[in-house]
Amino acid sequence: MTVNAILDQSAAPANDDSVAAGGSAPVLSEREAVTNARSIDHLVHAAMAQWTGGLSPASLALAFADWQLHLAASPGKRLELALKALGDGSRFARMISTPHAAWQPWFMVSPQPGDNRFSGADWALPAFNVMAQAFLLGEQWWHSAASGLHGVSKGNAAIVDFVVRQCLDAAAPSNFALSNPEVLRQMMDSGGGNFVSGWHNWLDDCRKWFGGQSSEPLQFVVGKDVATTEGKVVYRNELIELIQYAPVTADVCPEPVLIVPAWIMKYYILDLSPQNSLIRFMVERGFTVFAISWRNPGPADRDLGFDHYRKLGVEAAIEAINQIAPGRAIHATGYCLGGTLLAIAAARLQEERPGCLRSVTLLAAQVDFTEAGELTLFINESQVAFLEDMMWRRGVLEAAQMAGAFQLLRSNDMIWSRLVRDYLMGERTAPSDLMSWNADATRMPYRMHADYLRKLFLDNDLAEGRYAVDGHPVALSDLRAPMFVVGTVRDHVAPWRSVHKIHLLADADITFALASGGHNAGIVAPPSEPGHTYQVLEKKRDQPYVGPDEWLAKAAHREGSWWLEWVRFLTAHSDAWIPAQPSLHAPEGGPPLEDAPGQYVLQH
């Protein structure tokens, strides 16, 4: 409904005959007037969101107002910033007056660990090194200005620092051809061919952005190159397909493994190409694996909420597995948001059906959101209300919008470095199965997203005992089955210290592993791939709490993949192996519905 339609509906009489006879048009009730007014607000905010990328202008304005007002009332902080600027300027002037023979690169400031924009050897050349150091000094000064200001709320200070950093990252000398020595060297080596290749890369990306056909062939096809582990779809409802994978060993673990991925990702993140597939790895080691494949929702699914995902997702899958393998407890595993959903379902099942879960594994999954990293910059009352209004019109949060938010958290690596490599250097990163999966995103329904943001991120109801299931609050202290929990060192979505908070909430034996890598690459860590490391430490339920810093000091360091550690954990909490059943069947005993990977994973 448009604004004009709402206004027309408000003004139009209900009965033309009564008006013609001299009667007056009926007056809207107070409830109808409020509903129409809110509809207008929804529409206006949704229109604004198209121009702001989903960011709330009010949220940004409030954060900068908080910072500016406190800065204006803090003469000491302003003096400190002025003295820092003078000191840095004086040292910079002395640096650029140094004779070339005595020049020392990175004399004043060097890039932070993980900042690879200036890591090339050519950035040590005096002219380019001076530009890079000037930029880094400015970056340092703005960070000092945006942080450490007494009286500014922590959230607003973080928003200001984040926005300023985004602006500075866009203006970095590495982003421009004339100030990037690597681009200039590539130009000289190729005779300018890098710009021609970059132009073709840009045109190809434009074709993809505007819905055209890319000139690049598909590198990884679902069901052919990825998601190829042999299995059957044994159960389907309006929200999930449940895939059971065929055994490849003579004997198998009697307790099946259920994998619950996040609904904002295709499940095959855990079944990539054969050498990178966690599911294939587990099947080859004698585990009977089931995986949920979520349906990609559309605008018609706007009213699907968190409880629908719990009932039609996790609980429906557990019920189906109980029919296929009666009398066997389940090793339940949740990844990212799927882990959060699993924790809720597992706590509820502990009360209703104790013993139905043999163990619970959480992979990069949070249950307490007080330290949820930079994602919380997008989560405050103003921002959540703005997102709700935007999704109220569309019915879903589009995949591109979610991807954009995650890219902003690592804009250097995921935006600017890519633009320089693709368009200025004229190169393309070699495609990988993980990159292909990352581009195959899903949508999120309006109600689900609102429930998740408000109840979990904004209000932290789950950790604080206010999250209700069927009218009864869920207590994470009801999690009593042995737990295996994985965090990753460089996780920008679920920081490992936040994941570690499960120790404060669950009343269970917890084996916590901290893997190298990030949110995805740290979880997809096949043993055949070199370079993986992890730390691991088990805490019994009756042992004292170990904080994250103390945990780092105590946990054993191990080379290799945490996958092997997980196999050891599951084996220790399983019964004796039994002969495998070669034929797969549906819960009712009939034939499977179709071959894996099924239909839902192919939806766009």
Closest by CA position to 291, among listed 311, 329, 255, 321: 321
- DSSP category for residue 250: S
Place of tokens 């198209």: 50
**Number of Cβ atoms within 10 Å of the Cβ of 8:** 11
Q: What are the angstrom distances between the C-alpha of 311 and each of 238, 266, 276, 304, 345?
A: 11, 19, 31, 11, 9
Largest CA distance in the chain: 99
Identity of the amino acid at 325: A
Residues 267, 260: Cα–Cα separation, whole Å: 8
Q: Which residue has the tokens 């003004």?
A: 11
Q: φ, ψ for residue 416 (rounded to 5)?
A: -70, -45
Three-class secondary structure of residue 259 per DSSP: strand
With contact defined as beta carbons under 8 Å apart, do 536 and 396 qualify? no
Cα separation, 435 vs 521, whole angstroms:
11
Candidates 360, 375, 439, 457; CA nearest to 408 is 375
Q: Are 496 and 536 in contact (CB under 8 A)?
A: no
Q: What φ, ψ does residue 483 adopt, rounded to 5°?
A: -120, 140
Asked whether the beta carbons of 580 and 219 are under 8 A apart, the reply is: no
Catalytic one among 206, 253, 336, 356?
336
Using CA atoms, how far apart are residues 150 and 266, in angstroms rounded to an integer?
44
Catalytic residue check, 167: no
Q: Cis (ω within 30 of 0) for the bond into 597?
A: yes
Per-residue buried b or exposed e for 434-472, using 16+ beta carbons within 10 Å of the residue's own CB:
bebbbebbbbbbbbbbbbbbbbbbbebbbbeeebebeee
Report how far residue 507's alpha carbon sits from residue 503's, in angstroms, rounded to the nearest whole number.
8
Query: Distance (Å, rounded) from C-alpha 96 to C-alpha 371?
Result: 42
Give the per-residue SS3 of 365-376.
CCCCCCCCHHHH
HSE-CB for 404 with a 13 A CA cutoff: 10
Catalytic residues: 336
